Amino acid sequence: MTKLFHLKLLKTNIDSLFAALVGSLLVVLLTKHSGLGISPDSIYYLSTADSIIAGKGFYQFDGKPFVMFPVCYPILLSIIKGIFGSSFLKVVPFFNAILFGLTIFIAGNILEKTNHSKWLKWVVLAIISLSPSLLEVYTMLWSETLFITQVVLFIYFGNIYFEKKYNYKYLIIMAIIAAIAADTRLAGVAVIATGGLLILMSQDLKWKKKLLHAFIYGAISISLFVLNLIRNALLTQTLTGNRQKGVTPFLENLKYYGLVLTNWLPFSKWVSFFPTAIAFLFLAIVMVVFVVRFLKSKEQHAYEKLAVSFTLMYSIFMLAVATISRFETINNRLLAPFYIPCLLTLSFYIASFFKIVKSQTYKIALIGVSTLLVTTTIFQYADTDRATFLENSEGGIGGYSDDDWFISSGVLNYLKTNPSMFVSGKTIYSNAAHAVYFGANQPAQILPERKYSNLVNDFNSSPTQILIWFNNEDNPEVLTLQEVASTKNLQIIGKFNDGVIYQCTSK
């Protein structure tokens, strides 16, 4: 790792360092009003970090085992919070800014090593630094912030492994990064698959050595992930919590996949009318590029294989999981991890195409088209970032840390000043239990989702509970207030601008 930051590298990557500072500054500016955005997933991570600090292990805000996600990110948060304590929420935006800056710097180093022209390197760095896709992720308390950095590190060290004639040292480093990535996001199995596939498809390794390297890589890379699954199975008899069968068909998921891609492209308003076609075309191109890389006997750098292989593996994984299991709609957050690998792949082939074209006329035309697309993309990204900054400056990033939730909520303000409710012996339920934990620092049970009949029966059979109901929480999966009222008598404890607190007794 020290080699990554030695003096020579810094001298040849002053431009990368500048781009990293720009990206980091944007994260700080976009989170200036109220810190990082906090979503329900953020509360799972944050509450588990609190549980780790308290010495209770991996348990989430409602007292249940943390099994929906891997444990690496909560461990990281527990370290940061253990160091900075009550200043955690003020410090963590700067940590995200540093992570984003590090990611940009490593990407710039990759571009430098592939002998891109300085102009092409600067263009790619500008697009990465200004990317609304990446800024959306790095301004939230999400595990993707760490995962994206791990992916870029995997590509960096993976290239060293393949270029250094399959050195065991870098094989182990690559495997360790893959192991940590898979214990950060379940989608990290795509990182494992990328490394394993490239080792097995290598044309330079003899089969005996190839199988040995694949075994070493596989054993190390899956280790943390397997341990996590075993723990989950012992605690909950499930591998990753209760997950339902998918309800979104493959073609619909492909459309959502294409919609994300169109937001990344120049002229996004126009291309967004053809999301499915864009998705088909993109996947076809990635597949062709993947095959071509292995038909050619020599490459200048293994970066090309690593970037396109991860893009393909990750895309297949996300589309398959979203179709097989019930999953949130495919969105930018879920696809952002392959944004930089995809952009790197594009830059590799743009550079190659410029070298292939010999005609001066065609070269001028190509430069003109490229300039138009790049200029449009950068202005489009900058305009989106400007609009996001203005919106965030008014009330914070949408989520539990924005002003409507964290400052203006009458329910949460009441709970902060009346903590005795939580020691009354009555079970506390809420349709936004995550908000109760974040805003009032108190535990609450999630109001049951109607698809889990056993949880609904437990709720209905309990004689007395307290229900904290938020009007501005939109979760169609949990019981509605009307459904609760059909089995419970609801007595108002307090009525506020954003919700009502009820005592529930059985009818």
Residue 89 predicted with pLDDT over 70? yes
Residue 301 predicted with pLDDT over 80? no
7-11, 94-98, 321-325, 479-483: which is most confident? 94-98
DSSP H helices in 266-409 = 268-271, 275-295, 303-324, 332-335, 339-356, 360-395, 403-406
pLDDT of residue 3: 52
Task: Say if strands 427-430 and 445-446 run parallel, antiparallel, or are unpaired.
Answer: parallel
pLDDT of residue 7: 64
* Higher-pLDDT residue of 221, 295: 221
Amino acid identity of 22? Answer: V
Q: Is 101 left (phi over 0), alpha (psi -120 to 50) or beta?
A: alpha
Q: pLDDT category, 6, cuts 50, 70, 90?
A: low
- Given a contact cutoff of 8 angstroms between Cβ atoms, the answer to whether 116 and 130 are in contact is no
The two structure tokens encoding residue 327: 């999953």
Tell me the CA end-to-end span of the chain in Å, nearest whole number: 65
**Tens digit of each residue's pLDDT (9 = 90 or more) over 429-453:** 999 999 999 999 999 999 998 888 8
113 phi/psi in degrees, rounded to 5: -70, -20
DSSP 37: B
- Residue 343 CA to residue 127 CA, distance in Å, equals 9
Q: What is the mean pLDDT of residues 238-246?
A: 82
Residue 490 predicted with pLDDT over 90? yes
Q: pLDDT category, 67, cuts 50, 70, 90?
A: very high
**Tens digit of each residue's pLDDT (9 = 90 or more) over 181-231:** 999 999 999 999 999 999 998 888 889 999 999 999 999 999 999 999 999
User: Facing residues of 140 across strands?
Assistant: 37
Q: What is the mean pLDDT of residues 252-259?
A: 96
- DSSP string computed for 79-109: HHHHHHGGGHHHHHHHHHHHHHHHHHHHHHH
Residue 299 predicted with pLDDT over 60? no
pLDDT of residue 246: 77
pLDDT of residue 241: 83
DSSP 326: -
Helices and strands counted in the chain (H then E)? 24, 5
pLDDT of residue 380: 96
pLDDT of residue 298: 54
**Tens digit of each residue's pLDDT (9 = 90 or more) over 410-420:** 999 999 998 88
Of 11-20, 51-60, 73-82, 252-261, least confident by mean pLDDT is 11-20
**Tens digit of each residue's pLDDT (9 = 90 or more) over 357-413:** 777 787 788 888 888 999 999 999 999 999 999 999 999 998 999 998 988 899 999
* Residue 25 CB contacts under 8 Å (≥ 6 apart), including other chains: 97
Q: What is the mean pLDDT of residues 298-317?
A: 86
- Residue 145 CA to residue 142 CA, distance in Å, equals 6
For 473-490, b/e burial (b = at least 16 CB within 10 A) is beeeebbeeeebeeebee
Q: pLDDT category, 349, cuts 50, 70, 90?
A: confident
Q: pLDDT category, 14, cuts 50, 70, 90?
A: very high
pLDDT of residue 243: 79
Delimit the domains of the chain by residue range.
2-395, 408-506
* Higher-pLDDT residue of 45, 118: 45
Q: pLDDT category, 113, cuts 50, 70, 90?
A: confident
- Residue 222 CA to residue 315 CA, distance in Å, equals 20
pLDDT of residue 8: 65
Mean pLDDT (the chain) is 91
Q: pLDDT category, 106, cuts 50, 70, 90?
A: very high
**Tens digit of each residue's pLDDT (9 = 90 or more) over 132-180:** 999 999 999 999 999 999 999 999 999 999 988 889 999 999 999 999 9
**Tens digit of each residue's pLDDT (9 = 90 or more) over 271-288:** 889 999 999 999 999 999
Query: pTM score, two decimals?
Result: 0.93
DSSP 3: G
